[in-house]
Structure 1
Amino acid sequence: MSPAAAHARLYWPLLATGCLSACIRVGPDFHPQHESWTEHWSSTSIEQATQQAAQPDIRQWWRIFADQNLESLIAQADANNGDVKIAGLRVLEARAQLGIAVAGRYPQLQQANADVLYSTRKRSDGVNPHSGGYWQYGLGFSVGWELDFWGRFSRAIESANASFFAAQANRDDALVLLHAQVADTYFTLRTAEARLRIARENAQLQKRSYEIALKLFKSGETDELDLQQAKTQYLGTLSSIPDFESQTVLARHALSVLLGRPPGPLPELNVQPDKAEVLPLVDRAVLQDVPADLLLRRPDVRAAELQMAAQSALIGVAKADFYPSVSLLGSLVWSASSLNGSPSTLALIGGPSVTWNLFDHGKISNNVRVQDARLQELTIAYQNTVREAAREADDAATTILAAWQRDTILNDAQRAAQRSVKLANTIYREGYSDFQRVLDAQRALFAQQDAYIVNRGNAVGSLIALYKALGGGWYSEQPLIDSATRQQMQQRTDWGDLLNETNTPSATASSSGGSSR
């Protein structure tokens, strides 16, 4: 039997033993730790504020407003927002980290070396000295493969895999936040525009009253008190206009940044829609599932759970240091010389190697404790995230209900104020009341109209907050990496198939226990 065959007979049983032992994984297996209340959680406010329907899908909840401007803004934000782009790149980074972890399944030490040496020698027989030189050649290749006896590498892969899915969930959460911010900022802009329009209309109305009071005062028909009161009211309303103008500019700037543009005007929003389109009243949020399930599918909740899974696997990685490390080592060495009569040699060397950190027990123990403490921290953070999500949803639903109740009352109040202004003007012209009643009616009109618009804006904002709190809006048709970024990265680095593998539109993960190949 040749030496190579003998080595092979020793090698393959060891490899088979290593493969069988790889199923032994020290450390805890992760199990989701959902609190009992989350399984059937709901609230009276959410039940009253929502209804079950197929459309619009909660992933694209903004379609409930039927606003083409809003849908266009969200599509632009998906394509150009910097935070979402960074979140997509972090998914790609996590996928590359997973590739590093998977590499642990293969030989960890791979080394090749070659050398060429020139030697000289000098020999003297006492009469005629002789000298000469010769070349020496060497070529070697070494391989070292640590067998995964205790699941060190499989746990590392498990951790990296969970981190990869957590990065996807974080990207979904970035989309949830982005869509809510775009919608909220858009309706903040529309609210400011509506309040600006009302302020200008009331300023014109009060300006006419001030001009009338001025004429009457100059003609001696009224005293100066009516004039000063009319002037005060008009200037007070006039002073609110710059503030509303500033609010509209700031809202446009905020939208520009969300869309990935520098702060500036938004020409596509210059055409003012009518009043009904500016501040829509949606009387129910549409859901396709019960709040308890939606709560646990929130991207940030899923990300928190996946981070727990990743950390749980790291406990196993740390615990593997308690046990001996078994490796298979092998070397192939060839050497030759140009010296006459010198033979060339080919040597194959191989065998197992065992290393064991017998005197690092304290260090290893404390590292395991560190990893376990981090897992407990993430567990508590996960529980806090779920509770905070439930609070946000309940608060938003409660606020919506209050805004809906106030809407009818404030609408009636503004109509009554409009009627009061007409009656006050009529009675004043006929001489049955003083000018103060006209001023009071105008002041009440402005206040009620503004309160009505503000309440409408609050209702829309609370509806957006409810959808956000339930994790809606994670869907995007845009790929993780846009074409320009993709091209730039490919020119700089060989990414292989990773860009193709991860460059798919966002979709919520069905579970936290998925795997990647």
Structure 2
Amino acid sequence: MYSIKRYLGFKYFDNARIKNISECFMKRLNSHCLLKLNLLLVLTLILLQGCFGIGPKLGPDYLQPKLEMQDAWHQALTDGLVAGEANLQTWWMVFNDPVLNRLIERADQGNLQLKESFARIKEARAIRGIEAGERFPDLNSTGDARRRRSPHTFLPPTTQKSRTDEFFKFGGEGSWEIDFWGRIDRSIESADASLSASVEDYRDVLVVLYADVSTNYVEVRALQDRIKYVRGNIETQRKSLQLTKDRFNAGLAPMLDVQQAELNLAMTESLLPSLQLQLVQTINSLGVLLGEHPGTLHEELGIQASIPKTSEHITVGLPVELLRQRPDIRQAERELAAQTALIGVAKADLYPSFSLFGTFEVAANDFSDVFSYSKSRMHSFGPSFTWNIFDGGRVRNQIRVENARTEQLLVRYEQTVLNALEDVENAMVSYIQEGVRLEALERSVMAARKSTELVNTLYMNGLTDFQNVQEMERFQFEQEDKFAESEGQVIQNLISVYRSLGGGWTPESVQHAQAK
């Protein structure tokens, strides 16, 4: 102490002053050392955090399940269905029907279910952004400015005037979770997979939408053909009725023939309203699929046209291609990936979480002092951690929950693949067998028409009774109606083949929807 006083040359430096100076110096030294230590810890944690890929990432790394797929379809392929790389993106073009093409375009623009699915993509993107935001620090600013006036009645007796107090405070605080165990990374991984699943959901809606529009359109054309055959048969039976009346008036036929002709005509006419009702309902359904009012398509589709046909060979690909083509399979796989990542999120709760916290504040009773850094500042900065050392088994049971959900989604994925294989097999056999039926019905219609002509000739010559004419006319109508129905069903079954193969979407489908 004496050497310090002598060196400084101050007479009034006593031991108390020197002790005070020494304590202040040590405090400032300790403060700087503590700040450096905090900075060292912060840098260490940042280097180790999971967002830089150095820290451990808990939970299993996702691997796409490998499923055994058959080398070929069980249903033997026939003429019209061939193996090979299928071009499924715009499969409806094989029908070369301009009206159908326009309907597909309008459905792509206006279908409400498609818009709802795209909104789910937006939601998934926003959720992914929320999860990604966890990688960055949270910064908040605070401020407070108050003035308080105290009346003199509430002050000590020595104070005769009221007093006004002012207080100003501004500052900020921040926190940053260090993703040491990969919790945030796993959350982002799950959100990424969920976003992909929502994209596949949109593509699946496209597949179903295009198939439904095409199916309803074919149904409209098939019903119009059936109505055409009914009206043609009605016209034929009216002529038969007039013929029997003429023969009755001439005394060449009994009244029974007239009654049978009237009965036959009335039965055929009774079929027309139900077919027209089906036609109106189908056109209404088609309008709703386009996102339009039910009655908007009646004028456009009121003009009869033939059922769409195709002469092209249909390539159906191989079973293994379903895994990358059908959106529902792709969606199930992405949902499994999203759930697998949540196991790591749950496991991270078993370990301590590390964070950085910091605050900075300036406060003063005079506004001018707020900007005086030396007078009003206050700050704190440093790392912290929290560790739930006892939770009654909550975390471990949550891990079991996530594992069980992952098992469920794995089974669901496998079931989705099996259902897809079944859809394709059933669609192909339906298309093939209906084609065989259509060929037989075509021969039947030709034979029925010739038989009707022959029996009418015999009846005119008095060589057979009218009951045979009635039966042949009814049989001809039944065969023509079945033929028109089967002709439409063949194309509808072909549409089901395309639908079961997952046709109708392109990798750019979502980008096109975003540009609408």
Q: What TM-score do the two structures reach when normalised by structure 2?
A: 0.85
The structure 1 residue matched to 2:71, chosen from 37, 40, 47, is 40
Query: Secondary structure of the residue that 1:32 maps to in structure 2?
Result: coil
2: CA distance, partners of 1:28 / 1:143 = 32
1:135 to partner: Cα distance: 2.7
Query: Secondary structure of the residue that 1:344 maps to in structure 2?
Result: helix
How many residues are matched? 478
Counterpart of 2:358?
Answer: 330
Question: Within 5 Å, which residues of 2 pair with 1:178-189?
Answer: 178-189=209-220
Query: Secondary structure of the residue that 1:244 maps to in structure 2?
Result: helix
1:21 to partner: Cα distance: 6.9
2: CA distance, partners of 1:464 / 1:28 = 41
Counterpart of 2:101?
Answer: 71
Counterpart of 2:57?
Answer: 25
- Counterpart amino acid of 1:286? T
Counterpart of 1:493?
Answer: none
- Counterpart amino acid of 1:31? L
Confirm or deny: 8 A CA contact 1:39 1:293 kept in the other structure. no
1: CA distance, partners of 2:430 / 2:196 = 34
Query: Secondary structure of the residue that 1:112 maps to in structure 2?
Result: strand
Which segment drifts farther, 27-36 or 190-199?
A: 27-36
1: CA distance, partners of 2:376 / 2:240 = 112
1: CA distance, partners of 2:157 / 2:240 = 134
Partner deviation per Cα, 1:308-337 (whole Å, 9 max, x = no partner): 111111111111111111111111122223
Question: Within 5 Å, which residues of 2 pair with 1:250-265?
Answer: 250-265=281-296
Question: Within 5 Å, which residues of 2 pair with 1:35-184?
Answer: 35-36=67-68, 38=69, 40=71, 42-46=73-77, 50-51=81-82, 57-107=87-137, 109-118=138-147, 132-184=163-215
- Counterpart amino acid of 1:169? E
Computing the radius of gyration over CA atoms, which structure comes out larger, 1 or 2? 2
- Counterpart amino acid of 2:419? E
Counterpart of 1:435?
Answer: 466
- Counterpart amino acid of 2:301? L
Counterpart of 2:340?
Answer: 312
Partner deviation per Cα, 1:462-492 (whole Å, 9 max, x = no partner): 100011001001249876687xxxxxxxxxx
Query: Secondary structure of the residue that 1:264 maps to in structure 2?
Result: helix
What is the aligned-residue identity percentage? 33
2: CA distance, partners of 1:52 / 1:454 = 28
- Counterpart amino acid of 2:256? L
2: CA distance, partners of 1:53 / 1:264 = 42
2: CA distance, partners of 1:243 / 1:326 = 73
Unaligned stretches of 5+ residues in structure 1: 483-502, 506-517
Partner deviation per Cα, 1:152-177 (whole Å, 9 max, x = no partner): 11111001100111111000000000
Give yes or no for the alignment of 1:272 onto 2:301.
Answer: no
The CA RMSD measured in Å over matched residues stands at 2.9
The 1:233–1:15 alpha-carbon spacing in structure 2 relative to 1, beyond 3 Å, is same
1:339 to partner: Cα distance: 10
Confirm or deny: 8 A CA contact 1:148 1:154 kept in the other structure. yes
Counterpart of 1:285?
Answer: 314
1:66 to partner: Cα distance: 0.7
Query: Secondary structure of the residue that 1:221 maps to in structure 2?
Result: coil
1:298 to partner: Cα distance: 0.3
The 1:427–1:15 alpha-carbon spacing in structure 2 relative to 1, beyond 3 Å, is same
Confirm or deny: 8 A CA contact 1:283 1:404 kept in the other structure. no
- Counterpart amino acid of 1:394? E
- Counterpart amino acid of 1:106? F
Give yes or no for the alignment of 1:231 onto 2:259.
Answer: no
Q: What TM-score do the two structures reach when normalised by structure 1?
A: 0.85
Counterpart of 1:510?
Answer: none
2: CA distance, partners of 1:472 / 1:430 = 59
Partner deviation per Cα, 1:408-434 (whole Å, 9 max, x = no partner): 221111111111111111122222222
1:272 to partner: Cα distance: 2.3
1:359 to partner: Cα distance: 1.0
1: CA distance, partners of 2:158 / 2:437 = 123
Partner deviation per Cα, 1:253-301 (whole Å, 9 max, x = no partner): 011101111110423323323xxx32525574234x4232135420011
